[in-house]
Amino acid sequence: MEAVANPILTVSQLGKTYAGGFQALKDINLQIEKGEILALLGPNGAGKTTLISTICGIVRPSTGSVTVAGYDIIKDFRKTRSIIGLVPQELTTDSFESVWSTVSFSRGLFGKAPNPEHIEKVLKALSLWDKKDNMIRTLSGGMKRRVLIAKALSHEPTVLFLDEPTAGVDVSLRKDMWSIVSDLKAEGVTIILTTHYIEEAEEIADRVGVINNGELILIEDKNSLMRKLGKKQLILDLSQPLETLPAGLEGYELELSEDGEKLTYTFDNQGEHTGITSLLDDLKGSGIRFRDLNTTQSSLEEIFVSLVQES
């Protein structure tokens, strides 16, 4: 397990086998740094929700343990659960309650004395203030999603789980959501979110974890991950099409397009020598000239897809 300096959450050898015998989590080891944003990626059914539900107390672990702020989630469930806020994946809300009363209810349920100022602050931050007296069933899906976030924030948690907060949410609301998340981070809240929008993870996460088939196959700092696993490519538009690659260039990882007009060189941008200079020299030596060149870097999405395929 990659140890972190100030762990707020530690998952050790966590396993979950559902009643039917299905093993949804296998030996998960994970530490989460206080104040970071961790994005959990993984295909449908990978076990993301199961992991979150276990930490929050909704699903019982089969093996292993979890501590939050040093407290065990089973022995000291009152301590851990009052620190945690959860926005579930499914849009599950009451129907006939008002926004105000459902959010106040959540605060009470989590053991906090009423604090109308705090509820007001949360509702305003989520642009729900003018809807506070509306019945929940009269709200749109995106608004309901905000209500769930407001409920999760009602008791001032310091660890927040967002299970696919932007599923079925339009672009502007998604942008709002991201700014809410960065505001929370600025307040020192630790955020763990799952998403299928990889650009989302790319944009807001500090670290990225990938779960597949119940296993945490990777957890790493986003930037170093993209540096390490991201491949760079140099694409050359040739002045004259080539039929085959000249013999002198065999040592390079080169690919010639079918029409012979493009030459693609894939290189590891972590290595000390990218080989670009010598490639260009050798191209010149072979008499190959080009009109244009550009480089591309693989996105987190491509990294993710190749990781999941490999495992």
Partner 1 sequence: MNIHGILAIYKFEMARTRRTLLQSIVAPVITTSLYFIVFGAAIGSRIQQVDGVSYGAFIVPGLIMLNLLTHSISNASFAIYFPKFVGTVYEMLSAPISTLEVVLGYVGAAATKSIILGMIILVTASFFTDLRIAHPIIMLLFVLLTAVSFSLLGFILGIWADNFEKLSVVPMLVVTPLVFLGGSFYSTDMLPPLWQSVSLFNPVLYLVSGLRWSFYEISEVNVAVSLVCIVGFMFACLGVVIYMFKTGYKLRS
Ligand X SMILES: Nc1ncnc2c1ncn2[C@@H]1O[C@H](COP(=O)(O)OP(=O)(O)OP(=O)(O)O)[C@@H](O)[C@H]1O
51/286 Cα distance (integer angstroms): 56
E strand spans, the chain: 7-17, 23-33, 37-41, 63-68, 71-72, 84-87, 159-163, 190-194, 207-212, 215-221, 231-238, 254-256, 262-268, 290-297
Among 90, 130, 237, 255, binds partner 1 (CB under 8 A): 90
Asked if 99 interacts with partner 1 (CB under 8 A), we say no
37/195 Cα distance (integer angstroms): 12
What would the x/- binding string for partner 1 be over residues 122 to 161, using CB under 8 A? -----------------------------x----------
The binding site for ligand X (CB under 6 A) comprises: 18, 20, 22, 24, 42, 44-50, 89
Among 37, 42, 48, 81, binds partner 1 (CB under 8 A): 81
Q: 22 touches which of partner 1, ligand X, Mg ion, none (CB within 5 to 8 A by kind)?
A: ligand X
Helices 300-310, 222-229: axis angle to 10 degrees equals 70
How far from the centroid of its chain's Cα atoms is residue 284's Cα? Answer: 44
How many helices and strands, by DSSP H and E, does the chain display? 10, 14
Among 8, 16, 38, 49, binds Mg ion (CB under 5 A): 49
Which of the stretches 48-56, 66-74, 199-207, 229-237 binds Mg ion when contact is defined by CB under 5 A?
Answer: 48-56
The neighbouring-strand residues paired with 9 are 32, 68
CB of 100 to Mg ion, least distance (A): 29
| Interacting residue ranges for Mg ion, rule: CB under 5 A | 48-49, 89
Question: Residues interacting with partner 1, by CB under 8 A?
Answer: 18-19, 56-60, 77-82, 84, 86, 88, 90, 92-97, 101, 105-114, 151
